[in-house]
């Protein structure tokens, strides 16, 4: 999608994104277990680097590595010789892509137009947000507040084109949020072309004739530049100078929730995954909250070493969205699960959710008992298993022992809505001969049924009360035999 060249943009660059993710996961891991031997301890004073095997070079280093003289772009062999205790992490672009998407989802609550610039950048179109926030400084304060919730290091800059904002951020290596176009042009003039996406061969050609920064580039006629560089580089130059509009693809939030965590260590005890799952559930809670929605089920997929992934399904009897409610359900089910192999990654999915309906019930209507009951059912299913928790449905049969049956609780929504008969006991017993004195307080109620099935049942039911005040459901047969069939509570 193209926009005019008068819009102001923000570019946010994350120079050490994977290293920041590693530090955040290890910080969470320290709360998981300090005694797990397979978990490497992370010290921020230790020199660390991210190594890109395809390019055979370091692409991210921390401050401790910088103090040892290491630089990005350095080969692995040279870096190892310079610092023997350097800790190397393999570059995993999926880690950064997941982090950028989650951050874009959070920023989408405060900014409309967001572009994910893989592998480690975000582009924000600020022009259409100025009417809402008043000025660029206020808008940036809101954006900065959201990013600061993460532990990611970042630098940001503004510009009147996407390549200009990106170049200023990469060159200056500090936050430069300026709305004045003249000041931005002055900053842009001093930026090196090495940070642009101009083809490397074309950069060498331009450098040989003394064109190394934007100021020198502006002094060369466009026609002459077109004869020296290829089409891709020329398009980049035109976008950088504001002569052509940038083509960007705006981020669109997914209608389904998906959160993935690539573990940098192996976890053998499933309980140790709960802090990481809690982070995913907090993201799910925010996802549902902004949509005024709740969900009945989620799925957690555990990727295990040298074996197939394990999918775990979790259900709630009533729609919920709060992370603490889902975490309790997950924790209860985890008590019954044993891992076959160490977990190296996990993901949380929520494919279906429902919008919360606005309630017009009476203010004093007591619904807490129903909600508490459904909440209890959810925990029982997680603790005991779905097959051991049953619901009851009513059948059109006058015989008390055949008027109901057990069904899986998930299908209780289909139970019969026939009016339940009154004067029925809370506890139905297997008929037994009555052995104590009972005072009749209500009855009889004649029951004559099932003759068409060859099982002619004729009973006169009474409600009686024992000497101890216990109300009982009793019946008399045509042979004047008395039986106890139920108790009232």
Is the same domain home to 413 and 442? no
Peptide bond into 119 cis (omega under 30): yes
Q: Is residue 56 part of a domain?
A: no
Task: State both tokens at 393.
Answer: 């449905």
Whether residue 319 is predicted with pLDDT greater than 90 in this model: the reply is: no
State the Cα torsion 377-379-384-387 to the nearest 10°: 40
d(CA 83, CA 452): 92
What single-letter DSSP state applies at residue 239? Answer: H
Is the same domain home to 349 and 441? no
d(CA 153, CA 17): 7
The predicted pLDDT at position 300 comes to 94
Is the same domain home to 41 and 175? yes
pTM: 0.71
Domain end marker among 216, 235, 252: 252
d(CA 350, CA 298): 5
Is the same domain home to 403 and 363? no
The domain tally of the chain equals 4
Spatial contact of 386 and 315, defined as CB atoms under 8 Å apart: yes
Q: Is residue 80 part of a domain?
A: no
Spatial contact of 314 and 335, defined as CB atoms under 8 Å apart: no
Q: Find the CATH number of the domain harbouring 188.
A: 3.30.70.270
Is the same domain home to 317 and 221? no
Rounded to an integer, the average pLDDT of 379-404 is 77
Is the same domain home to 247 and 300? no
Is the same domain home to 247 and 263? no
Spatial contact of 165 and 10, defined as CB atoms under 8 Å apart: yes
Q: How many CA atoms lie within 13 A of 191 on its CB side?
A: 26
Whether residue 27 is predicted with pLDDT greater than 90 in this model: the reply is: no
Q: Is residue 68 part of a domain?
A: no
Is the same domain home to 467 and 331? no
Q: Is residue 52 part of a domain?
A: no
The predicted pLDDT at position 373 comes to 63
Spatial contact of 262 and 95, defined as CB atoms under 8 Å apart: yes
d(CA 234, CA 227): 9
Is the same domain home to 450 and 371? no
The predicted pLDDT at position 415 comes to 47
d(CA 364, CA 93): 54
Is the same domain home to 241 and 140? yes
Q: What is the DSSP string of 262-289?
A: EEEEEE-SGGGGHHHHHHHHHHHHHHHH
Is the same domain home to 200 and 331? no
The predicted pLDDT at position 39 comes to 45
Q: What is the DSSP string of 367-401?
A: -HHHHHHHHHHHHHHHHH-GGG-EEEEE-S-SSGG
Q: Which of 53-62, 352-361, 416-425 has the lowest mean pLDDT?
A: 416-425
Task: Give the closest residue to 203 by CA, choosing from 212, 215, 191, 214.
Answer: 212
Whether residue 211 is predicted with pLDDT greater than 60 in this model: the reply is: yes
pLDDT tens column, 162-203: 999 999 999 998 999 999 999 999 999 999 999 999 999 999
d(CA 124, CA 292): 26
The predicted pLDDT at position 281 comes to 93
Q: Which span out of 57-71, 255-269, 362-376, 448-462 was modeled with the highest average pLDDT?
A: 57-71
Give the domain range for residue 128.
1-46+85-252
Rounded to an integer, the average pLDDT of 285-307 is 90
d(CA 409, CA 127): 53
Coil, strand or helix at 445 = strand
The predicted pLDDT at position 33 comes to 47
Coil, strand or helix at 29 = helix
The predicted pLDDT at position 251 comes to 93
d(CA 164, CA 377): 57
């Amino acid at each position: 999608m193209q926009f005019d060249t008068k819009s102001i943009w923000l570019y946010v660059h994350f120079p050490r994104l994977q290293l920041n993710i590693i530090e955040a996961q290890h910080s969470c891991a320290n709360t998981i277990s300090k005694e797990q031997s397979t978990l490497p301890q992370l010290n921020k004073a230790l020199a660390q680097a991210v190594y890109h095997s395809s390019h055979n070079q370091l692409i991210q280093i921390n401050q401790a590595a910088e103090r040892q003289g290491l630089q990005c772009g350095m080969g692995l062999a040279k870096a190892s010789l310079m610092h023997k205790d350097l800790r190397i992490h393999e570059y995993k672009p999926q880690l950064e892509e997941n982090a950028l998407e989650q951050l874009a989802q959070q920023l989408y609550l405060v900014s409309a137009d967001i572009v994910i610039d893989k592998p480690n950048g975000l582009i924000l179109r600020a022009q259409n947000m100025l009417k809402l926030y008043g000025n660029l400084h206020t808008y940036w304060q809101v954006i900065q507040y959201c990013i600061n919730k993460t532990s990611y290091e970042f630098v940001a800059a503004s510009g009147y084109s996407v390549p200009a904002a990106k170049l200023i951020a990469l060159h200056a290596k500090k936050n430069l949020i300026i709305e004045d176009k003249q000041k931005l042009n002055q900053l842009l003039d001093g930026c090196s072309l090495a940070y642009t996406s101009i083809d490397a061969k074309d950069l060498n050609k331009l450098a040989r004739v003394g064109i190394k920064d934007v100021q020198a580039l502006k002094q060369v006629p466009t026609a002459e530049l077109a004869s020296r560089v290829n089409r891709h580089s020329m398009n980049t130059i035109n976008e950088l100078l504001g002569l052509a509009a940038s083509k960007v693809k705006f981020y669109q939030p997914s209608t389904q929730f998906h959160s993935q965590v690539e573990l940098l260590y192996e976890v053998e005890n499933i309980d140790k995954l709960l802090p990481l799952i809690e982070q995913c559930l907090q993201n799910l809670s925010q996802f549902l909250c902004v949509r005024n929605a709740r969900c009945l089920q989620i799925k957690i997929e555990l990727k295990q070493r040298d074996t197939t992934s394990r999918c775990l399904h979790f259900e709630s009897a009533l729609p919920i969205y709060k992370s603490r409610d889902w975490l309790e359900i997950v924790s209860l089910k985890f008590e019954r699960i044993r891992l076959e192999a160490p977990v190296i990654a996990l993901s949380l999915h929520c494919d279906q959710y429902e919008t919360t309906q606005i309630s017009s019930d009476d203010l004093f209507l007591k619904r807490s008992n129903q909600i508490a009951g459904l909440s209890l059912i959810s925990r029982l299913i997680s603790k005991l298993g779905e097959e051991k928790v049953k619901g009851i449905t009513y059948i059109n049969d006058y015989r008390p022992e055949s008027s109901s049956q057990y069904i899986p609780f998930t299908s209780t929504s289909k139970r019969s809505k026939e009016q339940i008969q009154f004067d029925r006991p809370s506890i139905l017993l297997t008929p037994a001969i009555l052995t104590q004195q009972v005072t009749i307080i209500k009855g009889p109620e004649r029951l004559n049924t099932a003759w068409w099935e060859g099982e002619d049942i004729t009973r006169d039911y009474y409600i009686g009360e024992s000497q101890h005040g216990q109300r009982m459901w009793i019946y008399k047969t045509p042979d004047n035999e008395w039986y106890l069939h139920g108790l009232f509570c």
